[in-house]
Structure 1
Amino acid sequence: MGNIKYRFLVALLLIVINQLQAKELFVSPIGNDSHSGTKENPFATFSRVLLEVKKFAGKEAVTVWFHEGSYYLDKTILLDSEYSGTSLNPVMFAALPGANVTIKGSKHLEYLNWKAYKNGIYVTQLPSGTNFDQLFINGERQVRARFPNYDYQNPLRGGNGYDLVADGTDNRYDTWFSFNPKTFSSKDWKHPETGIVHAFQSHNWGNMQYRIIDINRDEHKIYLNEGGWQLQRRYGIGGKGEKASWFFIENIFEELDVPGEWFLDTTTSKLYYYPETGIKLSEAKVEVPVIKDLIQLKGTSKSPVKNIHFKGLNFTQSNYTFMETYEPVARGDWAIHRGGAVFMEGAENCSVEDCSFEYIGGNGVFMSGYNRDNAVRNSKFVHTGESAVCFVGSPDAVRFYQTWDDKEIHGKDWEEMRKNMDLKPGPKTDDYPKNCIVENSIMHDFGDVGKQVAGVYISMSHKITASHNSIYNCPRAGICINDGTWGGHIIEHNDIWETVRETGEHGPFNSWGRERQWKGSRGSDEEFIKKLTKLDAIDNVIIRNNKIANYRKSISAGNWTIDLDDGSSYFEIYNNLNLGSTIKLRDGMARKVYNNITVSAVPLGWHVWPKNSEDEIYRNIFVISGAIPGKTEGTKNFIRPVALPTETKWSTHYDQNLYWNINYPNDFLVTENLNMEAWQQEGYDLNAAIGNPNFVDPLNGNYQVKENSPALKLGFKNFPMGEFGHQMTRIVPFGGEFSEEIKVTLKADIRAGNGAKVYFTLDGSEPSVYALEYSKEIKLHHTTTLKAQTFDANGVPVGFKTEAIFNKVKTVSYPSWLSTLLTGKYEGEKAVSKAIEKEVFGASLINIADDPDLIDATGGYNFGCYIKSIDAGKGKIWLDAKLDRDWVIQQVNEDIIQNISDLEKCFQKYKGQKVVITGVRDYNSKTFEVKLP
């Protein structure tokens, strides 16, 4: 980390020095491409100035200055190695100081002749062949005609903007799904083939898009055409009742029925639009995207693009990519589209700085294949269709490459593929990102279209640093490491909250490590080959000094703060503040978890560790507080182990942890079956302590411990609480509810230097040097929208404006874990349903659909009966069939088993007979013959 920053600082200093003698070129929306490109006679377009850049690139420093305004691109700007700069003579594309410069992948539709159509809808004729997938009116993206109508109050899955399927094939690639005629649109669709289905996968790991072939109203079926490639794994559209897939359908003319919707008839080239109140179409600015990637830096490892920098530019209005090519990525669960508003491949020492990405159709910044020492910093990503920043290497760089699609879609045998596999360590080629960084950036409300997305996504990469980023309000991960190739990443000082909002079985930080050592996910010697682990995970991943929080009153399946899933190995996890959920370690090797704080009703998730895993858990503060959503009793135990080894100790260094269970301060359990005394008799935590850690001020986010804390005596060390997230203009706290009064602090952008000032407004207006100047703590007594901006000593804005909403309420309602922490005692929850557990012929069974932890731990199976344990005396029918704990019963003969009730009915139906039971566990299916009494 230090070396990377040092190189960047040296490079930046050299850039500044050389800019003093740089060749300067100027572009302005009111310029002319026949001009000379000087400040007095600027060019008009990006493409024109590139002709001049090529003349000087690499020979002298070149800076292209953009005057304020919008620049429309009709084709992608392609920069190859001929545009490269050098470390002494870089090429810079920058906004003039204080100028608002926007690069648009769209065109402005002018001179439109709007005419009234009917029912508030207007129509205009466009040139023949016009096609686009988004419509912007006065800079705001409109809604393509859809069913159900877009829910502005709750646009997330589960809101009124989605419907539930009645049934489906539940297999990619789906060919149909059925709808409920009572909730489905009753309108007659003359051309259903224009429609596109957006549907969540039945297991809720992401969503897919399909084009429609036809609709059968009699059978209540939608027949599907191409699509379904937007994620991995075999599961598709399906499920029933509350477990069914959520969906909506867009681009249907007859569904154009509310203000803000539009439809383009490509056969007649007519645009239909239902304007919202107050929009005058004769004066409205109408824009439509025409390209996918706005800028591409494309070179090779032998001839890379070097030393090109973008600074202070706003990128917007690019095409959606969800119907473009996607590829499954290793054996992580994701698929990705290799594209981005700024796309880099074969690039070195290039950067994106002080740039914003808004209303981008796909990914924000994408580094594909060979990339070295590139940086994204001080930037903002909001309303991107897919992920914010992606680092994805080439499969050709991986010595043994498998995907889930190989097995589940194409029917390949993973074991056959392993024969004669390459056993050399490390990457095979250099076609992967290395020593790249994303720092001091803001990422929120991304994943507008794709739901299997992340603020920072890392795959087949080495030594990537994600530092000081604020990531929130997203459908899936804040940060995701897709695979164990090749480690060395540093994840530090990030502030992550309100993630995994529309999906399940995931975490704000999530990782997989299903490389050459991983054959299955049971952690056994047969399925996890320890000696192969370091072939791919060649360097440790460090996760430190992050705050990862869940303030919602509900927690989706899993949603661990730090979720180390299948095979994730060689992680060092320390100085992290985990709030509202906790840490999960699934099968993997050598994870060190120390000096962390967890405060949650969710127990630690230790799942299917290998024997002698070398995991270490020490000097942490573990606090149990409140009840898990869906339960009425406060959590009692600190650990919920699933299928951990019984013949060896879980860890030889599990010690010096501080335990405090607010719900049960005196009679808590460490695991589900062991109190502290019994736990210590097993050889763990011999030097642990029990007691209140004495946090300084948890209500205001300070979880450092006081001088009298028993944690300090165990060796725990306080870590900073004010360095999480970006360090641009900040509002602390960042909005929220209050009852009487709330005190707000403003912090200036750390880059503004001496003489910097923060100006703010409380009336919704934009902050300027004429607004209120911040000098002391602000006290709010009413619902307020606060906006703030840092300005340097010359009055030039630095970084981005920030905005927070403070809502005054009669009583502030906190999630169970936080209210219990603040009051110091558990006061109970309202009665709700919980997972049903019942003994059947000596086997203790649980309805897995009602238990998120078990869904996560067993491989994502969301129906059936989980076998918790089998009584050696009463469970003969199970033991004789070699059916063991942790299997999930999903079928008896041909009967599907959703729950324990279904199983009992089947056992009554086949009483006294021999039946075939189908069980699933960890991505495997097996049959067992059981003789029923």
Structure 2
Amino acid sequence: MKSINLYLLLLMSLAGPLASKAQERVSNDTVYIPADIRTGDPLPPDGNTIRLQHMLREKRAAYPGKTLAIIFTQPGTWYLDTTLVITPELANGNGSIVFMPANTGDSITLSGGQPIKVKWRRWKKGIYKARLDLPYNFDQLYINDEQQVRARYPNYDSSAKHYNGSAADALSPERIKTWKHPQGGYVHALHKGEWGGYHYRIIGVNPDNTLQLEGGYQNNRQMGMHAGHRFVENIFEELDTTREWFYDQPDKTLYYKPAPGTRLSKASVVVSRLLQVIALKGSADNPVRNVTIANLRFAHTAPTFMDTREPLLRSDWTIYRGGTVLLDGTEHCTIRDCEFDHNGGNAVFVSNYNRHALISGCHIHDAGGSGICFVGNPDAVRSPLFEYNESQPLAAIDTVRGPKTNHYPDSCTAYNNLIYRTGTIEKQTAGVQLSMATNISVLHNTIYDVPRAGINVSEGTFGGHDIAYNDVFNTVLETGDHGAFNSWGRDRYWHPDRRTMDSLTAAHPELILLDAIYTTQLHHNRFRCDHGWDIDLDDGSSNYYIYNNVCLNGGLKLREGFYRTVENNVILNNSFHPHVWFKNSHDIFRHNIVTGPYKPIGIHYWGDEIDNNLFPANTALPTETDKHSVSGDAGFVNPIAGDYRVKAASPALRILFNSFSMDSFGVVSPALRQLAKKAPLPVLAQQRLLTTSETTWLGARIKNIETLGERSAAGLPDDNGVYVISVPDNFPYQLQAGDVILKVGDTAVEKVKDFLNTYSRQGDRREKLTIFRNQRLQIIGPQG
């Protein structure tokens, strides 16, 4: 865990005894200063944030070199009128700044919203309305500090899997026809392949009652909206149930249908306004140093889904480079023991140059975006590309190893954080996100109830991460083809055409680790994904050491990449999924306990070592690999209680498996452990081979798309099509293994049966085939 314990002790001693009086006082090297901002009432004319910044400048000038402890003297909510920006002149080696409550246990909220005073009057159908003349629009409404639901179709349903309610007819002309003025409404939809989501603003209606939209840039793999998983909001006519609201900005009127028992005359009303509450803004040459934000609650920030547009290299992501708290150009800054509650975008964003940032002990939940993001600047990457299908010739590739600038997070830590229900609005999100960063420690976090990955690594730049002792479960709940832990590795050598990449990496293996320069270690974690893989190393993920992990359900997948060593892991109710490996991958899979046969797809080469693994009893051992592997009952100590250490007589000892601790996953602080959900443990069952649709056609072996692995390997958005397993020489079509046949002529085919029937009806005409290859549609004709 590096030096994290010493660092935490240092921070605790820095805070010292908290001030209990409102007046300024000096204690040792710390100056305790009451925050000069007000609560609850309308803002003063000069603005409270500006006043606080002026006070900081004055106190820094008066007390150079001392710690300035900005204390919030009264429990309650403190509303800022603009983002509080801390610049290097306030914190640059001339003493620290600490933000904290005056008294231990005080509940202090820093709000990104604004309180408003409204006079409600009954309207109709249980709906109330109030005049509200604001100089800005807003996207979230809080009544008595509880987030309400903007008028939407379909209605909010907490039990619905996607978006708390989605419907194919949300954009039907019949429904659109019932809306008088939908301009300013929004469409939210999953990506067609379920790889995240899209968001659009409605700007008009066409004569045929279809919508004019702007947006859709929130996903870096453009394929269009999902046909069914979509909903609309901010439409007046859809205000039809309790807790829904609508703000008519042109008419300056707020409409709201309260839940039974709500006393609106006494209710507090807050609207979202700021995208960020606190921003530490420095640079690599002039960083903000030694700022600590401790024991505060952050709430009510505005959603950022229409600002999420910056692509992250060749991952599937776009981002908004900001969060409720932003660290941009900092050194030795800390966010400790804070709560991030119902904010509209990312909770914490560590952007560009940062060194030794620490986010620890935080309770992050119900965020519209991600939990914690560490994201560097593309100018730190040599030969960067930004979309999956982009490529560059060898002559254009910068072959200098490592980063180009220092504009990225390095040696930063996310430790002991409880993160759940993130991605409530945006679906291309993660509990913890890493991109263009190095040596990031992600330790002892508990992450669950998220729409996509719990922990995501966007590309190989620049590796060296230590991801350990995390408990990650209930993941990939709304999307697909992903994992509880997910990574990509589409680095500078990457090419969307596999044959081109095979030739390039065989001739120039030195390209492979130009970006992934340090080994990322993934160890002592417990992962569970019921809608994908527990551990998913996707396209090109390279330079990983994966050991001492427990995979509770989804198995472990290694798609094409290089230099992955996987050993001493426990894989329950599933197995190892190797997909389309390179000839020179140098992959190793050894000393693992698997509970089913391997599930290879497109494997012609088996890496450096696949051996000394334990398979279930009565399972035939692989013939191409595992010459020294054995089968038998693993003999777990107490699987019902989640103890997967092995007993003294276990055959796992014969393959040199070493038991490891099963009680050190997730958060460590008692308060967070008490709040955290428990990971659902599996009922162990030996895996059985699936029945298969495999058959032959003109000598080629074909089958249905039957597994998530086959769909992922082909890059398909759904399970439709005919998967080509192998093709004999002199075949009448230019097919390759791994192709997926989608059409014969103009006729779509979803399964092998459809394909064979359609093809036989063509007689000797030999129609062209529409296929999916290298994640692109192609049309091929018969040869000769």
Q: TM-score when scaled to structure 1?
A: 0.77
Residue aligning to 1:438 = 414
Residue 396 (structure 1) aligned to one of 363, 375, 379: 379
CA contact (8 A) 1:195 1:211 kept: yes
Residue aligning to 2:759 = 907
Residue aligning to 1:227 = 215
Residue aligning to 2:115 = 108
CA contact (8 A) 1:517 1:530 kept: no
Residue aligning to 2:741 = 889
Q: String of CA shifts for 1:16-65, please: whole Å, max 9, x gaps.
A: 599743111123777999xxxxxxxx999755643444335752111112
Instruction: Please tell me whether residue 210 in structure 1 is matched to residue 200 in structure 2.
Output: yes
Residue aligning to 2:314 = 331
Residue aligning to 1:194 = 184
**1:738-753 alignment to 2 at 5 Å?**
none
Q: Distance in 1 between matches of 2:70 and 2:134?
A: 36
Question: Once the 2 structures are TM-superposed, how far is the Cα of residue 690 of structure 1 from its aligned partner?
Answer: 1.4
Residue aligning to 2:592 = 620
Paired residue type of 1:919: I
Q: Distance in 2 between matches of 1:136 and 1:158?
A: 19
CA contact (8 A) 1:19 1:61 kept: no
Instruction: Please tell me whether residue 163 in structure 1 is matched to residue 19 in structure 2.
Output: no
CA contact (8 A) 1:598 1:623 kept: yes
Q: String of CA shifts for 1:504-544, please: whole Å, max 9, x gaps.
A: 00000000011123213748622545321111110000000
Q: Distance in 1 between matches of 2:13 and 2:265?
A: 50
Instruction: Please tell me whether residue 305 in structure 1 is matched to residue 288 in structure 2.
Output: yes
Paired residue type of 1:802: L
Q: Distance in 2 between matches of 1:835 and 1:451?
A: 33
Residue aligning to 1:526 = 503
Residue aligning to 2:637 = 696
Residue aligning to 1:452 = 428
Q: Distance in 2 between matches of 1:387 and 1:342?
A: 12
CA contact (8 A) 2:391 2:494 kept: no
CA contact (8 A) 1:307 1:349 kept: yes
Q: String of CA shifts for 1:86-120, please: whole Å, max 9, x gaps.
A: 3x93211112311111000111112x211111111
Q: Distance in 2 between matches of 1:308 and 1:710?
A: 53
Q: String of CA shifts for 1:126-154, please: whole Å, max 9, x gaps.
A: 125342111100000000011111113x1
CA contact (8 A) 2:460 2:515 kept: yes
Q: String of CA shifts for 1:240-278, please: whole Å, max 9, x gaps.
A: xxxx33111000111111110000001011001111111
From the superposition, tell whether residues 420 and 521 of structure 1 become closer, same or farther in structure 2 (CA, over 3 Å). Answer: closer
Question: Once the 2 structures are TM-superposed, how far is the Cα of residue 11 of structure 1 from its aligned partner?
Answer: 6.2
Paired residue type of 2:632: G
From the superposition, tell whether residues 909 and 653 of structure 1 become closer, same or farther in structure 2 (CA, over 3 Å). Answer: closer
Q: String of CA shifts for 1:840-865, please: whole Å, max 9, x gaps.
A: 333333332x4321111112343543
Q: String of CA shifts for 1:760-815, please: whole Å, max 9, x gaps.
A: xxxxxxxxxxxxxxxxxxxxxxxxxxxxxxxxxxxxxxx68627699xxxxxxx99
SS in 2 for 1:535: coil
Paired residue type of 2:521: I
Residue aligning to 2:567 = 594
Q: Distance in 2 between matches of 1:870 and 1:704?
A: 41
Greater mean deviation of Cα atoms: 350-359 or 49-58? 49-58
Residue aligning to 1:630 = none
Greater mean deviation of Cα atoms: 467-476 or 48-57? 48-57
Unpaired segments ≥5 residues, structure 2: 18-25, 42-47
Residue aligning to 2:255 = 272
Instruction: Please tell me whether residue 117 in structure 1 is matched to residue 123 in structure 2.
Output: yes
Residue 21 (structure 1) aligned to one of 29, 51, 55: 29
SS in 1 for 2:610: strand
Residue 581 (structure 1) aligned to one of 522, 529, 554: 554
Paired residue type of 2:487: S
Instruction: Please tell me whether residue 144 in structure 1 is matched to residue 1 in structure 2.
Output: no
Residue 608 (structure 1) aligned to one of 555, 580, 583: 580
From the superposition, tell whether residues 158 and 437 of structure 1 become closer, same or farther in structure 2 (CA, over 3 Å). Answer: closer
Question: Once the 2 structures are TM-superposed, how far is the Cα of residue 616 of structure 1 from its aligned partner?
Answer: 1.0
Paired residue type of 1:577: V
Paired residue type of 1:842: G
Q: Distance in 2 between matches of 1:57 and 1:224?
A: 57
Q: Distance in 2 between matches of 1:289 and 1:696?
A: 51
Question: Once the 2 structures are TM-superposed, how far is the Cα of residue 3 of structure 1 from its aligned partner?
Answer: 4.4
CA contact (8 A) 2:39 2:78 kept: no
From the superposition, tell whether residues 340 and 212 of structure 1 become closer, same or farther in structure 2 (CA, over 3 Å). Answer: same
From the superposition, tell whether residues 254 and 43 of structure 1 become closer, same or farther in structure 2 (CA, over 3 Å). Answer: closer
CA contact (8 A) 1:505 1:860 kept: no
Instruction: Please tell me whether residue 98 in structure 1 is matched to residue 111 in structure 2.
Output: no
**Identity level (%):** 35
SS in 1 for 2:123: strand
Residue aligning to 1:257 = 240
From the superposition, tell whether residues 312 and 85 of structure 1 become closer, same or farther in structure 2 (CA, over 3 Å). Answer: farther
Instruction: Please tell me whether residue 342 in structure 1 is matched to residue 325 in structure 2.
Output: yes
Question: Once the 2 structures are TM-superposed, how far is the Cα of residue 158 of structure 1 from its aligned partner?
Answer: 7.7
CA contact (8 A) 2:176 2:210 kept: no
**1:506-525 alignment to 2 at 5 Å?**
506-520=482-496, 522=498, 525=502
SS in 1 for 2:328: strand
Question: Once the 2 structures are TM-superposed, how far is the Cα of residue 430 of structure 1 from its aligned partner?
Answer: 0.5
Question: Once the 2 structures are TM-superposed, how far is the Cα of residue 867 of structure 1 from its aligned partner?
Answer: 3.2
Instruction: Please tell me whether residue 562 in structure 1 is matched to residue 535 in structure 2.
Output: yes
SS in 2 for 1:200: strand
SS in 2 for 1:880: coil
CA contact (8 A) 2:533 2:554 kept: yes
Q: String of CA shifts for 1:382-435, please: whole Å, max 9, x gaps.
A: 010000000110011101111117x4xxxxx5236x542211111000000000
Unpaired segments ≥5 residues, structure 1: 34-41, 167-177, 239-243, 408-412, 625-637, 669-674, 730-748, 750-798, 807-813
**1:502-901 alignment to 2 at 5 Å?**
502-520=478-496, 522=498, 525-526=502-503, 528=505, 529-550=508-529, 555-556=530-531, 559-600=532-573, 602-624=574-596, 638-646=597-605, 650-660=606-616, 665-666=617-618, 668=619, 675-676=620-621, 679=623, 682=624, 684-729=625-670, 802=675, 818-821=682-685, 836-848=693-705, 850-862=706-718, 864-870=720-726, 872=728, 879-901=731-753
Paired residue type of 1:202: K
Q: Distance in 2 between matches of 1:728 and 1:489?
A: 23
CA contact (8 A) 2:203 2:212 kept: yes
From the superposition, tell whether residues 29 and 90 of structure 1 become closer, same or farther in structure 2 (CA, over 3 Å). Answer: closer
Q: Distance in 2 between matches of 1:44 and 1:20?
A: 28
SS in 2 for 1:526: helix
CA contact (8 A) 1:863 1:890 kept: no
Q: Distance in 1 between matches of 2:10 and 2:134?
A: 53
CA contact (8 A) 2:163 2:425 kept: no
Q: Distance in 1 between matches of 2:37 and 2:469?
A: 40
Q: String of CA shifts for 1:706-761, please: whole Å, max 9, x gaps.
A: 122121233211111111000122xxxxxxxxxxxxxxxxxxx5xxxxxxxxxxxx
Paired residue type of 2:538: D
Question: Aligned pair count?
Answer: 765
CA contact (8 A) 2:734 2:782 kept: no
Residue 415 (structure 1) aligned to one of 383, 392, 396: 392
Residue 918 (structure 1) aligned to one of 763, 770, 782: 770
Paired residue type of 1:866: V
Q: Distance in 2 between matches of 1:13 and 1:895?
A: 72
Residue aligning to 1:755 = none
Paired residue type of 1:652: D
Q: Distance in 2 between matches of 1:865 and 1:563?
A: 24
SS in 2 for 1:81: coil
**Over aligned residues, Cα RMSD in angstroms?**
3.0
SS in 2 for 1:162: coil
**1:228-243 alignment to 2 at 5 Å?**
228-238=216-226
Residue aligning to 2:22 = none
Q: String of CA shifts for 1:673-693, please: whole Å, max 9, x gaps.
A: xx42x62xx4x3233221111
